[in-house]
Amino acid sequence: MAGLRERKKEQTRQRIAAVALRMFTERGFDAVTVNEIAEAAEVAKATLFAYFPTKEALALHGVGGDDLAEIVARRPPGQTFLEALRAHYRAFAAAQLPEADLDALLARVRVIQNSPALQNAANALLYQQRQALAQVLADEHGPTAAALMAAQIAASLLTLQETYFQRLLGGASAEDVGRALRQDVELAFDLLENGLNHSEGR
């Protein structure tokens, strides 16, 4: 029963997210209300908020970035935090998104780009993720070093994400974009592991 209940909950979450994305795409984020989304998804407003605490969370669903702190915290013994992050993003870059998922992702990115409120919300989410990563790293490296490391990692990963989306929105094929992303992931983590001087020897 527990498994069935979880599947139904996930189906409801995905239905709400899909309805919201369609409405945001058609009319823009600011023009759509939470009440309209709940009605179109055939759920109560309270149910919608149980899955997505804010309207912004609905729009950022799927593009909010990975939980960097969790990736680092649950790494196996003997693995450095950069090795754990590299392995995670290597796996992400190697995966091929289904075309339907890719279309939905790009539609969501366009909605975010067209809304200053969503851009601010995305920036706030990235800041929270960076702070959480710094807290995890602080136990091993101290607060100042951890904050600097987290800032460098977050900036590198944001650049990877922005470049990935720009290529897709520019019309490059998913295959070409995936190949470029795999190369960019290695370059980003080479620079993070070896410092900026590493680029001078390339």
What is the mean predicted confidence (pLDDT) over 144-148?
Answer: 96
Predicted local distance difference test score (pLDDT) of residue 5: 83
Q: Work out the pLDDT band at 136, boundaries 50, 70, 90.
A: very high
Torsion 158-70-127-195 (CA) sign: negative
Query: Look-up: residue for tokens 């339907």?
Result: 100
- Which pair of tokens denotes residue 44? 């109560």
| Residue 137 clears pLDDT 90, i.e. is over it | yes
- What is the Cα–Cα distance from 173 to 26, expressed in whole angstroms? 25
To the nearest 10 degrees (0 to 180), the angle between helices 143-169 and 174-194 is 160
Q: What is the pLDDT of residues 60-115, one digit of tens each?
A: 887 766 799 999 999 999 999 999 999 999 999 998 777 778 888 888 899 999 99
Q: Work out the pLDDT band at 200, boundaries 50, 70, 90.
A: low
Contact yes or no for 146/135 (Cβ under 8 A): yes
- What is the Cα–Cα distance from 25 to 28, expressed in whole angstroms? 6
Q: What is the pLDDT of residues 36-64, one digit of tens each?
A: 999 999 999 999 999 999 999 999 887 76
Predicted local distance difference test score (pLDDT) of residue 1: 61
Predicted local distance difference test score (pLDDT) of residue 78: 93
Rounded to whole angstroms, what are the CA distances from 176 to 51, 167, 189? 35, 9, 20
Q: Which domains does the chain have, with CATH numbers?
A: 2-53 (1.10.10.60), 62-200 (1.10.357)
| Residue 174 clears pLDDT 90, i.e. is over it | no
Predicted local distance difference test score (pLDDT) of residue 100: 75
- Which pair of tokens denotes residue 25? 């795409």
DSSP string, 32-53: --HHHHHHHHTS-HHHHHHH-S
Predicted local distance difference test score (pLDDT) of residue 64: 63
pTM above 0.95, yes or no: no
Q: What angle do CA 65, 129, 77 make, to 5 degrees?
A: 95
Predicted local distance difference test score (pLDDT) of residue 198: 52
Q: Work out the pLDDT band at 157, boundaries 50, 70, 90.
A: very high
Residue 16 has φ and ψ, to the nearest 5°, of -60, -45
What is the mean predicted confidence (pLDDT) over 113-134?
Answer: 92
What is the mean predicted confidence (pLDDT) over 144-164?
Answer: 95
Torsion 71-134-132-11 (CA) sign: negative
